[in-house]
Structures are given as structure tokens and as C-alpha cells.
Amino acid sequence: MDIRTTPNPVIRWAGRRLHALNSRHPWDHNAHFHRWILRSLPSGAERVLDVGCGRGALVRALAGRVAHVDGIDPDPSMALAAAEQCRDLRGVTVRRRSLDEHAATLPSERSGGSYDALTMIASLHHMELEPALATARALLRPGGRLLVVTLTVPRTPVDLLWDIGNALTNPLIGVVKHPLPVRDPVPGPRIPVRDPAWSHGELRERAREVLPGAVLRRREGFRSTLSWRKPD
């Protein structure tokens, strides 16, 4: 059972109440993981690719740490918003591209890799899992790091308990991060939304076929993280 889609009237009522509280004290679930990504960058990283860069917030954060950042997003409005956000930054390039389209522009480098790190925040579930992970693996240099923050769907009792815990803690985190109630949301381009197709356990099993040794963890904000280091 997915508490976000269940027809149970009691759970639906509780969900509406939690949604109202979340709306008054919103927090950016994706930006919340920027610090984790910045801490996890390989030492001496010089070039990073952010896949599904959205409005460009992570690209800006990465630009303060590495010499060159490429941000790509297949959605025209997102790529435009990211380009506007990052136009004052040196060493940053934003393009409207999918991961496959971007990889096709680097044919001579794919075997040896082009990037010291590759990041994906809430974008992996928009792609075919194994091909996307394989392409990311190919684009990384030896010793490079793949850092993923993704959504999952609950399929097991453990998944459901974790979802309930996230539903209850989500507004509490919002109050801490954004104590003043929001009355007028800030307008901006709508981020494309897609439901995830795999559970945490399914992601772990399928990812480790492509990325042996990948580390996956359940995280707050209905998210899971994946970290993998390409062998030297």
C-alpha cells in the first residue's frame, strides 16, 4: 500500500492535513541533499556533470567547488531556467540534452571517462534504470563518483513503515527549515514530475548489477541515495 495514493478515507484525511502543514512550511527536498553531494565529491575533482539539472541550484553549488560544471536537462523550460541562474558563473555550461544525447557528444572519451563526478537529483526515475547507470559509469573517469538522490515506491512492509515515518517527519523538518508560514508561493517554471517505477530494494538489486559495490541508503524526504566509486 502506498500512503500517497491509498483510497482509505482516514489516511486520505490525514494526508490532506499533512499536505496543508507542508504547504505552510515548505522545504526543498532536493536542495536538502546538496551538502551530502558536496561532501561526497572526490578529492581534487575538476569536472562534474549534473544530469537533470532542473533550475540549476546544484550547478551553482558545484561551481563553488570545481573548475567546470556541465548541467543538462531535456526539458526546455528547465534548461532555460538553469542557464539564466548560472549565466554569471565561470566554468559552467548548461545545455538542453538528455543523458544519452550528451554522451553521444563525447565519443572519443567514453571509454576513459570525462567526469570526476556525475550527479543526479530526482532525475534517475525519469530514465530507463540500467541504461542510465551504464552510461553514467562510462562517463566517469577512474576513481570518479556517481551520486544519486532518487524517489522510490513502497512495495514491502519496511517500505511502508519508512514512508509513514517520512510523512510524519516531513512537516517537522519544514517547521525547522522554514519556521515562518508561507502565504504567497514564489512563481517559477514547473518542474516535470514522474512517479518512480522501483522500490528501494529493487533499485538496490538492479543497480548493483551495473555498479558492483554501490551503496544505497533510505533517506528523509521520501528519498533514497546511491553512491558508487568507479574502480581505478
> What is the CATH classification number for the domain harbouring 186?
3.40.50.150
Q: Could you give the angle at the alpha carbon of 95 between the alpha carbons of 207 and 216, nearest 5°?
A: 20
pLDDT at 176: 75
Total structural domains within the chain = 1
List the chain residues with pLDDT less than 70: 1-6, 8, 10-27, 107-112, 175, 178, 180-190
pTM equals 0.84
Backbone φ and ψ of 165, nearest 5°:
-60, -40
Count CB-CB contacts under 10 A for residue 199: 17
pLDDT at 121: 97
pLDDT at 110: 45
Count CB-CB contacts under 10 A for residue 107: 8
Q: Which domain holds residue 211?
A: 1-232
pLDDT at 193: 78
**How many residues make up the chain in this entry?**
232
CA distance 118 to 140: 7
